[in-house]
Structure 1
């Protein structure tokens, strides 16, 4: 037997033994190559076996290596292809460098106090440099401990997540996203758990790591992430959960917030308190292991109780804000229109409002007091219209929970805070109630005696039922302030609006759009279109004064009959009397309708309409004679702004609720006051002289006309229709307004620096009753508010413009009087220089007066009789009202 070593050089099979004939046969069969010329080698059997195994192992390793290399190449090419495919058409990550997240827009009072906030996502943007390291470390420990070292994604974390998913057969799919990946998901991708989204997330994460610094990425994350309770970003969350700034957070509080990104709803501080505590402690342990806090601090912080606003451990930040009211909601409406709703709710605007919080409170109280007084005089109980089912009354805990869930007004402070309450039991002489947020005590038993509702007719037990939801407030002794009893209250059915503004700047100081914002958000000061009635008459008189008439001009007060497409129109005075030839001053002081119509006819309704539009009362006023009596609808907002132009001498003033608007960077993007201060920066300005303010406001009426009209309207308050309601220590001018059947009642007036107005009426217009007038209902509201406004803002004589002179006139006849005349019939009228008034001429507007007309004589009673017409409606008539016989020419 022979053995050959073989190999590549010999051409023989390695390690083969046998006869030469066997070798030749094997070679011919192709089993192994055989070359008889190759040198022969002989080895032992053991040596031959070892060599065979070694060569077999090397061959196997070579094969495996080749396969692995090929597999790696295939995988790499596949991954490359996947990343190439998914890497196309991805959102631009570079836009994040200039990203500005949606943030809260805040409204501030003139004193710099936050009075309201508006946002779709409650977020307070905080730059990275202003976020404490403690907060950053808490989130890094909770979400991505390798944040500062990885390149956008964590390969080990991804592998561990895959292994966990395979091991649990898909039941456990835990996240392996880094903070960078979460930024990509939150900003540029969807939140679904799909492989495609993960791949895109990784691609974008690696790209953004090359574009932005780690601190910028962390800034985006900490300001964008949702942390529960409608809080976005860490600053808002710190305020929501602890009512603290980021710099005031303790380590355990920072860890609590850092526990939220995982699943905010699963870590609610009340419902899931124990679960949140465990997660918080886990974050604290991670912080300690990462070296961010010491072991001693970790032990102390871990032992700290879990405290939060939601658990009642801290006062809520929202509790420090006043309830939203008509003023701030109107700012929201106007700025959403000016800047766009999206910008207002997400742009982080800082809005400096014109509101005077003290005067706003006075306005709300004054209007509510009058509305409630009128409502109680009607003797009708409506309550809230809500009730609790019997099962909710089973226990105190259940009725308190059910009551707290009801949408009922909680923003009323009138004579004290109004509380929602539920009727628990009705007895013969009292009923027992349960009051929201108020525990019952022996000193303040929660019962309402029957005598408290003595103003209501009907049976006590039939009016109130168990489960009825009502409003109550404490009644206290006026002198000592001691508790007397709980008293029932109800939101008034009749509504109204009130507004006050600076006559020189247009700054709205107070605005109340109804009884309660939470009961009805409809703003009746700006949104309600109502007939102004006689409060519109000053615009007719202004048109006449600018057309050459004077306050002493005589206008006929006599019957008028006009044929209209709707039928014969016979307007009348409120008193149903006729007064004959009367000076214009008396016409406006006593609110004579017939004089106003004749004057409008004389001047021309086109001129009157032009004046109304010029003052902003209407955009396009109809030129009908009835509109001279205020039959066309407008808003209280427009009326008060127009009256302010009378007060400031005839210059245009635009009402505003906002002084200034700044964007998120502090840049002023709107300022209302465009006046220039000429010498504000002059260091040589004497101490006894104020800076000179230059205004370029448009003049809408002659200054002398404005003063003449103001003087006439002052007569309305001094001796006219408002004399019994308005009594202030400074000169006041104004005009009452009462529409047909008293569907709307008004009073709009002004001092030398503040204009204010009120209207009262039902939202679905209907008569307020025979005793309802602008002076009796709105006059007290104006009086109460302006009493406090005058104390704060003062007031003085109305400024007399140059270019005129005073003459004494008989206010009843319009006759010229001597300079030394005196008496209640004497009034000093202001006339333009160079224009000597012509006395004795009468204007009838083309409507003649009967020669035997029974006119009202001074001293007669102005009684008005109310009768029932054939249609069943009520109407007011006067016994002496008659057309008399017509003079020559008749009506024309």
Structure 2
């Protein structure tokens, strides 16, 4: 018999490799099962996952309660699986995971494709392979890095989810938690955001639009690009038809038939929310619960403000607007021409030179020091410590009054006034009216060389409009939780009188003249308006700030790089934008005439005989016997000075009695000139000294042609600010 041959070496090696592969596969399966088991044990329960949220939701409401923007994750009503429309689950399965009901967390076909992609193409990024279970695992537990390591963990977690939960529970979690863009998490939030109704009412076309958003929420958002959203929905509907979920007649979307939710405001609203919402860190205790923030913003006025800035801002420049109500409530705020292009808030953060609008503080200081709108001043060349301001037109008109000097923004007069009252006094006045930015005390500061924010200047003008009462801008009125619990409500602050009412009455007189006849004529709106223009050197900045019918509005225009803008002047584009906005803003308010009547204090009134000489009861005098009589101790024998009518209860006044002692003797005895004392001038001089120590002007009868006396130049830094 022949000897039997054994297996060939090749067959033995094949057998060994097969056995080794089976062993390794069994070990891998065992290892995978252990990994899935541990993962399943570590996954929270269904109810814990249901309660998790991705962050805090902040719903911002306008002053009338309407919704203007929703920030952070937005969650609608949680829909149980049997509440979710079948067309919605079909659309999602069709476009995201057509073998969802047959796999165990990973799709072998798609996974194989991913491996091939990784071997042939990039080894770092793998795309288009995730099942619904994998997407849910990623959303719940992982980041969005598309690497092999993360994909492996994602696959394990997806199979663990399939092990622990039913297909219906996975779909329920997914459809209530997946991100659809615009802050919307879950189909109900997306449906309310895009279509203004709950997800239980979704049509086939609307379900297709929502399902199509998962791939790229920002690209296919119907609020950003309707046509892109519809094109993507067509793809979803085609897949639904191919997989038998809908009929061919249903597989179409009519753009006109999709009624999208109208947006309450433009993107400019975000400038306001960027300013207001950080204040919640101070106003509220720490909370992560969804909240509703009620604000002062008026949607109609916000739209009008945005349109006014867009229509009037010169090409290549930026524009900003702040509008305040009587109490400081922000009615509209625009921080730039396009928030998406640039979210830098020029209304609240930009520091720019205010130009001649700064003269508000110069003239407030002058009015408080005793000047009146009709007082005469002289427009003449002036030099202060080597600084020689020039007028915008290069000319000087000579003698004029304060009202005209302000209306036409005469720089030389502002420089003289600032020098006379003191540059530190002007800076203190600005501080008093809410300017918190650094303010210099160099001579050029009177023309607006110190940089300020638009909201600060608007606040200052609002305080003038309020009769000298301090105004604090605010934007949040109350904050409540989603359940209606009140977390914060604004309380009215205590009133603060910044200057006497007669000062703001005089200032309003000047501001009204600037609009009626001066540099701000473009700001006229057919009712009383008071305001001031501002233009900096080389036309880098243009300002107009003014008020009417209780609304104060400030407008700034210029370039972010501070380069010149040809033709930019405060009395042109900014004043025109102010007028365009204010015509809308005040249309439902009563016409209000300004109170410019100066109810002056006693020290500033026209002097009469009694005031010049003083009331005899107010000063010491010598009686007939030469005795020194204290104030208020005089008897009823009449005035020693022969002035009639000082006391209503006095008997007939007799002639002044002769002095008991020789005047030379009295003069040597008391060390002063008796005739001056007997004319009442001693007390008057005492009053004058007190007023001068208090910074008040000397109370002297007006001369036929008074001119301001310019104080000696102070040692300050030189500089020049701008024009009207």
Query: How many equivalent residue pairs?
Result: 568
Whose helix proportion is higher, 1 or 2? 2
Q: Which residue of 2 aligns with 1:461?
A: none
The structure number with the bigger radius of gyration is 1
Change (3 A) 1:513 1:775: same
Where do residues 355-394 of structure 1 align in structure 2 (5 Å cutoff)?
A: 355-371=297-313
In 1: Cα distance, 2:553 partner to 2:29 partner: 78
Any idea what SS the aligned residue of 2:554 has? strand
User: Is 1:321 equivalent to 2:263 in the alignment?
Assistant: yes
Change (3 A) 1:569 1:225: same
1:845 Cα offset (Å):
3.7
Q: Which residue of 1 aligns with 2:238?
A: 277
Q: Which residue of 1 aligns with 2:77?
A: 126
1:636 Cα offset (Å):
2.6
Change (3 A) 1:835 1:794: farther
In 1: Cα distance, 2:256 partner to 2:439 partner: 59
- Which of 383, 395, 398 is equivalent to 1:561? 383
- Which of 241, 251, 275 is equivalent to 1:334? 275
1:138 Cα offset (Å):
5.8
Q: Which residue of 1 aligns with 2:491?
A: 674
Partner deviation per Cα, 1:93-117 (whole Å, 9 max, x = no partner)? 9864642235775554445555555
In 1: Cα distance, 2:302 partner to 2:110 partner: 62
1:630 Cα offset (Å):
0.7
1:166 Cα offset (Å):
12
Where do residues 4-43 of structure 1 align in structure 2 (5 Å cutoff)?
A: none
Where do residues 85-234 of structure 1 align in structure 2 (5 Å cutoff)?
A: 96=49, 98-102=51-55, 107-116=60-69, 118=71, 123-128=74-79, 133-135=83-85, 139=89, 158=104, 183-189=136-142, 220-226=173-179, 232-234=185-187
Partner deviation per Cα, 1:774-819 (whole Å, 9 max, x = no partner)? 3344444433443443432223133579975799999xxxxxxxxx
Q: Which residue of 1 aligns with 2:223?
A: none
Where do residues 482-631 of structure 1 align in structure 2 (5 Å cutoff)?
A: 492-509=315-332, 511=334, 513-514=336-337, 524-547=346-369, 549-551=371-373, 557-563=379-385, 568-578=386-396, 584-631=402-449
Any idea what SS the aligned residue of 1:569 has? coil
User: Is 1:756 equivalent to 2:553 in the alignment?
Assistant: yes
Any idea what SS the aligned residue of 2:468 has? coil
Change (3 A) 1:732 1:272: closer
Change (3 A) 1:543 1:742: same
1:700 Cα offset (Å):
3.2
- Which of 704, 711, 714 is equivalent to 2:512? 714
- Which of 296, 306, 327 is equivalent to 2:251? 306
Whose strand proportion is higher, 1 or 2? 1
1:702 Cα offset (Å):
3.2
In 2: Cα distance, 1:259 partner to 1:594 partner: 67
Whether the 8 Å contact between 1:502 and 1:509 is mirrored in structure 2 is: no
Whether the 8 Å contact between 1:555 and 1:844 is mirrored in structure 2 is: no
Change (3 A) 1:598 1:526: same
1:502 Cα offset (Å):
1.3
In 1: Cα distance, 2:130 partner to 2:340 partner: 46
Q: Which runs of 5+ in 1 are unaligned?
A: 1-73, 145-152, 285-300, 373-491, 676-694, 811-833, 849-874, 877-892
Whether the 8 Å contact between 1:103 and 1:125 is mirrored in structure 2 is: no
Q: Which residue of 1 aligns with 2:460?
A: 642
1:619 Cα offset (Å):
2.0
Q: Which residue of 2 aligns with 1:37?
A: none
Whether the 8 Å contact between 2:508 and 2:596 is mirrored in structure 1 is: no
In 2: Cα distance, 1:218 partner to 1:584 partner: 77
Where do residues 756-835 of structure 1 align in structure 2 (5 Å cutoff)?
A: 756-765=553-562, 773-798=569-594, 804=600
In 1: Cα distance, 2:503 partner to 2:467 partner: 8
Whether the 8 Å contact between 2:57 and 2:70 is mirrored in structure 1 is: yes
Q: Which residue of 1 aligns with 2:543?
A: 746
Q: Comparing both chains, which one has the higher relative contact order based on Cα–Cα distances under 8 Å and sequence gaps of 6 or more?
A: 2
1:279 Cα offset (Å):
3.6
In 2: Cα distance, 1:718 partner to 1:251 partner: 61
Q: Which residue of 1 aligns with 2:500?
A: 702
Change (3 A) 1:205 1:629: same
Any idea what SS the aligned residue of 1:792 has? coil
Whether the 8 Å contact between 1:132 and 1:246 is mirrored in structure 2 is: no
Change (3 A) 1:669 1:369: same
1:736 Cα offset (Å):
2.5
Q: Output the aligned Cα RMSD.
A: 5.5
Q: Which residue of 1 aligns with 2:188?
A: 235
Whether the 8 Å contact between 2:83 and 2:200 is mirrored in structure 1 is: no
Whether the 8 Å contact between 1:749 and 1:756 is mirrored in structure 2 is: yes
What is the TM-score with the length of structure 2 in the denominator? 0.62
Whether the 8 Å contact between 2:209 and 2:232 is mirrored in structure 1 is: no
Change (3 A) 1:779 1:269: closer
Whether the 8 Å contact between 2:541 and 2:556 is mirrored in structure 1 is: yes
In 2: Cα distance, 1:524 partner to 1:169 partner: 49
Change (3 A) 1:313 1:553: closer
Change (3 A) 1:667 1:621: farther
Whether the 8 Å contact between 1:703 and 1:801 is mirrored in structure 2 is: no
Change (3 A) 1:271 1:597: closer
What is the TM-score with the length of structure 1 in the denominator? 0.52
Q: Which residue of 1 aligns with 2:672?
A: none
Change (3 A) 1:271 1:806: same
Any idea what SS the aligned residue of 2:588 has? helix
In 2: Cα distance, 1:740 partner to 1:203 partner: 70
In 2: Cα distance, 1:557 partner to 1:166 partner: 86
Change (3 A) 1:571 1:188: same
Change (3 A) 1:231 1:97: closer
Any idea what SS the aligned residue of 1:736 has? strand
Whether the 8 Å contact between 2:506 and 2:598 is mirrored in structure 1 is: no
Change (3 A) 1:594 1:248: same
Whether the 8 Å contact between 2:305 and 2:332 is mirrored in structure 1 is: no
Partner deviation per Cα, 1:377-435 (whole Å, 9 max, x = no partner)? xxxxxxxxxxxxxxxxxxxxxxxxxxxxxxxxxxxxxxxxxxxxxxxxxxxxxxxxxxx
In 2: Cα distance, 1:756 partner to 1:260 partner: 41
In 1: Cα distance, 2:513 partner to 2:471 partner: 24
1:642 Cα offset (Å):
1.3
Change (3 A) 1:304 1:228: farther
Q: Which residue of 2 aligns with 1:827?
A: none
1:257 Cα offset (Å):
6.0
1:501 Cα offset (Å):
2.3
